[in-house]
Structure 1
Amino acid sequence: MKESAATSLSDPLIKRHRPTIKRWESPIAGYLFISPWLLGFLGLTLYPMLQSLYYSFTDFSLLEEPTWVGLRNYNRIITSDERFIQAVKVTFIYVAASVPLRLVAALMVAILLAKNIRGMSAYRTAIYFPSLIGGSIAVAILWKNIFGKEGFVNNILAHFGIEGTGWVTNPDTALWTLVLLVGWQFGSAMVIFLAGLKQIPNDLYEASSVDGAGKATQFFRITLPMLSPTIYFNSIMGIIGAFQMFTPAMIITNGGPANSTYVYSLYLYERAFSRLQMGYASGLAWIMLLIIVASTAVIFLTSKYWVFYESEGGKSK
């Protein structure tokens, strides 16, 4: 057996192919495979970010060469820009309302779609479909018509003798129509929740049923703890997306009425492309980045108290 092994290792064919195998073991091969993504990241993400960081310290109007002004843009934003304060306030209200609504809607629907019944794949596809088009301009216009003074919602209320308001033109309700829109776009979070539900062992539910646990107890003592890593992930992704919301506020309300839907991204867009204050807008963009980082950091730091990892022996990581 030893001779045959030695003979096979010394076979000319293997010797002839050995350099080829060794060549593909080089790290260069890996860099070649990721080079399309790497070039895109360097040219379309990292370089624009660094350039916007430089512009944030300049007075740049897109029509003239940038002039270095140091921290003047940041000082104006923080100390004397009332519209900045309004935009931050509206954005935080929107994030605080829309992210939990989206998570609850996605989880509830995922629990319903986790059942093994006939035709469930078609139901899942139909429910996920709105998320594919939810961020489009066409849907924003449709939403504006649905909640308009003569829209579908008010027509339904009229059948019950209720006179509805102009939901997107009333300062008290305009922001909540945008919250409902993002709540309707729960498809991606739902799919992730559905995958997480499939990973929960049925033995846990069977054992708890033997011990007399009801559906509510199983949900709060088994489903939620086992889904906590998924909730953690969806929360972070939802917060990041909510802070960057732009299209619905632009198309449906254009920041109105009375600045009630004047979210941060809309203010940044106005400064950059309406007033051509690109340096000032770059400063706003970097402040937004810091706000998002701080918000996600809070979730990350508190996750050890409520995120359950089964691989950690039943303890939060």
Structure 2
Amino acid sequence: MTTTAIPPEARNAPAAAPKRRPQREREGAAWVFLSPWVLGAIVLTLLPMAVSLYLSFTDYDLFSPPKWVGLRNYVQMFTEDPRYWRSVVTTLMYVLVAVPLQLALALVVALALKGMKRGKGFYRSAFYAPSLLGASMSIALVWRAVFNDGGTVDNLLGTGGWVNKPGWALLAVALLTAWQFGAPMVIFLAGLQQIPAELYEAAAVDGAGKWRQFLSVTVPMLSPVLFFNLVLQTIQAFQVFTPAFAVSAGKGGPADSTLVYTMYLYDRGFVASHMGYASAMAWVLLLVIGIVTAVLFRTSRSWVFYASEGDR
């Protein structure tokens, strides 16, 4: 039996590296996996947005072909529709009340949960539950019953039903939103657990009390999380619909005191069948949310502290 001698240079040669797939083949595989998301984004988001933008320049009643009217819907919205401006004011009032109240409750509960030794998981789940249930129509109807004439609030305070009073109805809607503080609470709790204990110890050595530690340590270190929650909850508050619809029985009353923007948009589009006008309202809302978000990001430079950046 003969054996073939292996040359020394071949014996010491490194193993051949595995062949890499061509760049185009790797990109093709990536697009295959991304195709469901891309298709969904085009069909379910970009295409409806394009159609809505076109309809905003038309007179369309859902039953006849749309008629091009140019900027008439926008001109009518800003100059000829006082109810539109009432919905704008109502929405702004709602945002200014509901968002700070919700974030304050979320932060207070998160601080309380952080200091708990036992049962933290149970209470965290219990406080988070309203965020899962509160957006449903059934819970909103229960909320209406609680604040209606003869309801729980009326029996306890003797003030009458809030939902039938123009000055109180919007507050009832804002309280329903504030009650759903579970999501920002969980985010606050995660942020609080990331703050080093050494900072509190150093502050205590310097003579800082609990309130001073909260202002000088907790708030600055938690400011990125606070900013995230503020942006997220503000965007959601501008789009509120279900609580106001249920509390006002779909009418925005009393005296349009709960007529938020999205409810009036729904009324124009699906009740009055002015879909072109409703599409114009939707695009104005998108623009306003974009501007408000940009302003929040711009102002965050002066109060949001990132530990990796050091002192500004």
Query: TM-score under structure 1 normalisation?
Result: 0.91
Give yes or no for the alignment of 1:184 onto 2:179. yes
Q: 1:270 aligns with which of 264, 267, 284?
A: 267
Give yes or no for the alignment of 1:287 onto 2:284. yes
User: What is the CA distance between 1:147 and its match in structure 2?
Assistant: 0.8
Query: Which deviates more from structure 2 when the two are superposed, residues 112-121 or residues 249-258?
Result: 112-121
User: Which residue does 1:27 correspond to in 2?
Assistant: 27
User: Which residue does 1:160 correspond to in 2?
Assistant: none
Residues 1-317 of structure 1: pairs in structure 2 closer than 5 A: 6-7=13-14, 9-10=15-16, 15=18, 18-19=19-20, 26-157=26-157, 163-253=158-248, 254=250, 255-315=252-312
Distance 2:255 2:163 in 1: 11
Map Cα deviations across residues 234-259 of structure 1 (whole Å, 9 max, x no partner): 11111110010001111111300010
Map Cα deviations across residues 132-178 of structure 1 (whole Å, 9 max, x no partner): 01100010011011111111122223xxxxx2211111111000000
User: Which residue does 2:6 correspond to in 1?
Assistant: none
Name the SS for the 1:150 alignment partner.
coil
Question: Aligned pair count?
Answer: 302
Q: Percent identity between the aligned chains?
A: 50
Map Cα deviations across residues 156-203 of structure 1 (whole Å, 9 max, x no partner): 23xxxxx22111111110000001000000111111111111111111
Distance 2:49 2:213 in 1: 47
User: What is the CA distance between 1:23 and its match in structure 2?
Assistant: 6.9
Query: TM-score under structure 2 normalisation?
Result: 0.92
The one-letter amino acid of 2:261's match is Y
Distance 2:293 2:282 in 1: 17
CA distance 1:4–1:114, shift in 2 (3 Å): farther
Query: Structure 2: 5+ residue runs without aligned partners?
Result: 1-8
Distance 1:98 1:126 in 2: 21
Query: Structure 1: 5+ residue runs without aligned partners?
Result: 158-162
Name the SS for the 1:70 alignment partner.
coil
CA distance 1:211–1:280, shift in 2 (3 Å): same
The one-letter amino acid of 1:48's match is P
Name the SS for the 1:191 alignment partner.
helix
Map Cα deviations across residues 91-142 of structure 1 (whole Å, 9 max, x no partner): 0000011111111111111111112411210110011011101100010011
Distance 1:252 1:66 in 2: 34
User: What is the CA distance between 1:280 and its match in structure 2?
Assistant: 0.6
